[in-house]
Structure 1
Amino acid sequence: MNASIPSSDTLPRRPIRDLPDELISQIAAGEVVERPASVVRELVDNALDAGARQINVRLLAGGVRLISVEDDGGGIPRDELPVALRRHATSKITDLHDLETVATMGFRGEALAAICSVSEASILSRPAGQDSAYLLDARSGELRPAARNQGTTVEVKELFFSTPARRKFLKSDATELAHCIESVRRHALARPDVGFAIWHEGKLVEQWRAAGSMSDEALARRLGDVLGDAFVQNSVTVEHWSGAVHVTGRAGIPDAARSRPDHQFCYVNGRFVRDKVLTHASRSAYEDVLHGHKQPVYALYVEIDPARVDVNVHPTKIEARFRDSREVHQAVRHAIENALAAPRAA
């Protein structure tokens, strides 16, 4: 039976009015917070921006009941805690120039407000030099002293409790947990100098210890820890300069190709991105050695002047737009081609 659609003539006219702040944040949350893994990504971004060297992620029910991200970073002063929860409040940028040359993981000032609008959230933080930590309840606004060493803990409970229609679209706890782990994995591959641990239902499910530096050796160890020793053994080192574009990482040999593109990681200035230019360039480098539907494996790190790439394309910040996409495409393609040719020429 088809539901009748009311005619515009029968609908009463509604006045144009400003939306309440909470509804605005809930609308923004529709783009920023797709599932628990989105919250994990945003909170780990903030922890890395705060200079954390150890990040612990604790989850219940795949992140639906609880997401807790603890770090040992710089912390947030007491007076700034309430400001941190406001829409478009951030310490990362102050003007258009900062936005066009952004070098931090976060910068939009949307995530915390959006997360708090669809959950029960709190922030516990203590910067160096402050007598004690302070705990801020996002819903009530209550701010009180609490115990904690330097750093920040953000707890997000009952995700989408205020928007039950969104909660119905979530998958099983196991599926949501897998997405959360993948989100942390992407960060871990870019930051071997930071330790990561993931706990689910009180059990440690993943742990990657800090290597203490950002050296090539440290990155190789982290790649082995996260993707398996076979990835390192069946890949070659990528190191290529093309003008102002620097491409490093590891590219798998053709025999290491997989049936799915689940071991393809691209980073731009330390940020994991999904970009058609990078994906096409990588695939093109394998076109003479890979056939059919086999998918190459690689972890590539592109360093480029921040002013030549725009990461303010989508609220999730995993899309990028290059000022000269041809320059980047050629750099990535030649980087992989040269790396694959080296062992064959030896």
Structure 2
Amino acid sequence: MPIRPLPDTLINQIAAGEVVERPASVVKELVENALDAGARRVDIDLEEGGIRLIRIRDDGGGIAPEELPLAVSRHATSKIASLDDLEAVATLGFRGEALPSIASVSRFLLASRRPDDEHGASLQVDGGRVGEITPRAHAQGTTVEVRDLFFNVPARRKFLRAERTELGHIEEWLRSLALARPDVELRVSHNGKPSRRYRAGDIEAAARLGETLGEDFARSALRIDHSGAGLRLHGWIAQPHYSRASADQQYLYVNGRSVRDRSVAHAVKMAYQDVLFHGRQPAYVLFLELDPVRVDVNVHPAKHEVRFRDARLIHDFVYRTLQEALSHTRAGMDAAVVAAPAAGTASFAGNAATTSSWTPVAQPLGLRVDEAVGAYASLYAQPATTLADAMQAGTAQPMPQHGTALPERNGQVPPLGYAIAQLHGIYILAENADGLVVVDMHAAHERIGYERLKNAHDGIGLRAQPLLVPLMLAVGEREADVAEREAQTLADLGFDVTRSGPQALSVRSVPALLGHAEPEALLRDVLADLREHGASRRVAAARDELLSTMACHGAVRANRRLTLPEMNGLLRDMEATERSGQCNHGRPTWARFSLGEIDRWFLRGR
């Protein structure tokens, strides 16, 4: 068969295979064009989940009549004009493929009017065949109608799902857009009936979160805002107690563009590593802002992915920002505002509307690891027999006699209140200003010990343990290249590694604390992380797993009877310890029941 150029219609249909996956893809491309045109209101009319009809109307700047044919021709755009523009794209669309691709697989109508035009104009395209420009009455802005999607490509049409499924994909994308663009009003109708409306304006963050992701997410969200190294990360992350079975509430935006990025997703996962129960997923809405020159958005036809020029820096920035925010979550704390106005630093302040104002108790963290293990294992070994003994030991706050009012500290009852009883030797029951608090004493004590051990070990750092006989390790050439390039990074982790051949490494030392582990498997995992993400938490994770085990063995056991002062000492420690809302394995350490909730159990007031 001779070589010959393909017809334009076939070229556009091939491009449609990359750009137009389903009706939601069409809605995405058309709404993004509306936003790039300056629209402040977008109406989306759908029929049969978008398969029969997608109509997008906006109030943007409009298109000149003579430019309508250009709008449906390949690689014609008003958004870039040079390579410099391409390397610093600031618009959502820029490739000039969407409209001709969509028009080639549908019955397509484009109508528009600019503010100063006397009337509008329209252009019909039927399966890629472009008609004539005709005058048309039209308000300012642009309307795009897409009817009978894939009518001329039956092989593609039969892969579309049921109406409800396709509509669900559209609604999910619009939810993502509503989170990113609260300044734009979105109105959606389906089969002639209004189905959803996102109002524009100065809507409060909590209201927007509740509107899109539900009130539970809004109540548990931590506000993030941190800048440094030319980067800014802001948005919301859910506290660990709010987690999901799937990654259905994970939204990432880079310079306003909704994207998927494995490196950032990995950084978020690492930040949540020891506060989520196994198999659970974090929920977040994060906006990453950086110089457009530092990110390449032209790596995916549908613009779902980006490539960072400083991937390692991005990964580390996201991980450290979120880890620091999560480290300031404590038992008894409600949703908080997290801000970092200064580059490279972060400050964390509670939300005055929902968080009690109290001062955490300072914790002694200057012990060596072996001292901390021994000290913490015996912390509750000898229960105090009197209140004075407990106070002298520093484990308790003053506790009233039974039947008296709760004491106040600085005018406030502490968030976890004061202990009133122990249930089955497992749970501590406490009364706070709002109602009842139930604490799993082993899980809470385990987290307290774990955090103290981590802080103690962080003061020591990762020490290297020399091997009597160097370990010769056979690896792939890519792994050897990474080991050679990242020799200093490996040294900081406790590995002394040199390349001894094209596919061979010589290991002369391993992290001292992990000497009992299998160094070969650990090093291979570290090299894999460095190659894929530019950073690795494998060594730190292995260290934390060991310290977690040590803390578990040192924690108070079930059926261990505690005095009231000891129980109060544990509650105060929880309020002052980072991440104390979850144990080392991600299980919750406490639960709260308001007095109103308890009243409803017993139908009081009815």
TM-score range, shorter chain: over 0.9
Structure 2 residue 286 is matched with structure 1 residue 300: yes
Structure 2 residue 257 is matched with structure 1 residue 271: yes
Q: Matches of 2:59 and 2:262 in 1, distance apart?
A: 35
In the other structure, the counterpart of 1:67 is 54
Q: Matches of 2:70 and 2:160 in 1, distance apart?
A: 30
* Secondary structure of the corresponding residue to residue 135 of structure 1: strand
Report the aligned-residue RMSD: 1.2
Q: Matches of 1:115 and 1:141 in 2, distance apart?
A: 15
Length-normalised TM-score, structure 1: 0.93
Q: Matches of 1:154 and 1:87 in 2, distance apart?
A: 17
Alignment-mate amino acid for residue 240 of structure 1: H
Alignment-mate amino acid for residue 263 of structure 1: Q
Alignment-mate amino acid for residue 41 of structure 1: K
* Gap regions ≥5 residues in structure 2: 331-359, 361-575, 577-606
- The alpha-carbon distance between structure 1 residues 218 and 108, as it changes in their structure 2 partners (threshold 3 A), is farther
Deviates more, 1:186-195 or 1:104-113: 186-195
Give the Å deviation of 1:273. Answer: 0.3
Preserved contact between residue 83 and residue 89 of structure 1 (Cα < 8 Å):
yes
Q: Matches of 1:100 and 1:232 in 2, distance apart?
A: 36
In the other structure, the counterpart of 1:121 is 108
Structure 2 residue 196 is matched with structure 1 residue 206: yes
* Secondary structure of the corresponding residue to residue 141 of structure 1: strand
Give the Å deviation of 1:299. Answer: 0.1
Alignment of 1:4-15 (within 5 A): 14-15=1-2
Alignment of 1:153-172 (within 5 A): 153-172=143-162
Alignment-mate amino acid for residue 86 of structure 2: L
* Secondary structure of the corresponding residue to residue 328 of structure 2: helix
Give the Å deviation of 1:219. Answer: 4.1
Alignment of 1:23-102 (within 5 A): 23-102=10-89
Give the Å deviation of 1:78. Answer: 1.0
Deviation per CA, 1:209-265: give whole Å up to 9, x if none.
0024xxxx6444322211122211111001111311100000000111011110000
Give the Å deviation of 1:145. Answer: 1.5
Q: Matches of 1:221 and 1:79 in 2, distance apart?
A: 43
In the other structure, the counterpart of 1:11 is none
Alignment of 1:140-219 (within 5 A): 140-212=130-202, 218-219=204-205
Give runs of ≥4 in structure 1 deviating > 4 Å: none
Q: Matches of 2:207 and 2:160 in 1, distance apart?
A: 34
Alignment-mate amino acid for residue 137 of structure 1: Q
- Alignment length (residue pairs): 329
* Secondary structure of the corresponding residue to residue 298 of structure 2: coil
In the other structure, the counterpart of 2:245 is 259
Structure 2 residue 22 is matched with structure 1 residue 22: no
Alignment-mate amino acid for residue 195 of structure 1: E
* Secondary structure of the corresponding residue to residue 122 of structure 2: strand
* Secondary structure of the corresponding residue to residue 142 of structure 1: strand
Q: Matches of 2:30 and 2:117 in 1, distance apart?
A: 22
Q: Matches of 1:281 and 1:147 in 2, distance apart?
A: 52
Give the Å deviation of 1:268. Answer: 0.1
Q: Matches of 2:323 and 2:171 in 1, distance apart?
A: 31
In the other structure, the counterpart of 1:242 is 228
* Secondary structure of the corresponding residue to residue 254 of structure 1: coil
Q: Matches of 2:274 and 2:231 in 1, distance apart?
A: 24
In the other structure, the counterpart of 1:282 is 268
* Gap regions ≥5 residues in structure 1: 1-13
Alignment-mate amino acid for residue 273 of structure 1: V
Structure 2 residue 309 is matched with structure 1 residue 323: yes
Alignment-mate amino acid for residue 192 of structure 2: G
Alignment of 1:103-118 (within 5 A): 103-118=90-105
- Equivalent of 1:332, from 301, 314, 318? 318
Return the index of the structure with the highest Cα Rg: 2
Alignment-mate amino acid for residue 190 of structure 2: H
Preserved contact between residue 192 and residue 219 of structure 1 (Cα < 8 Å):
no
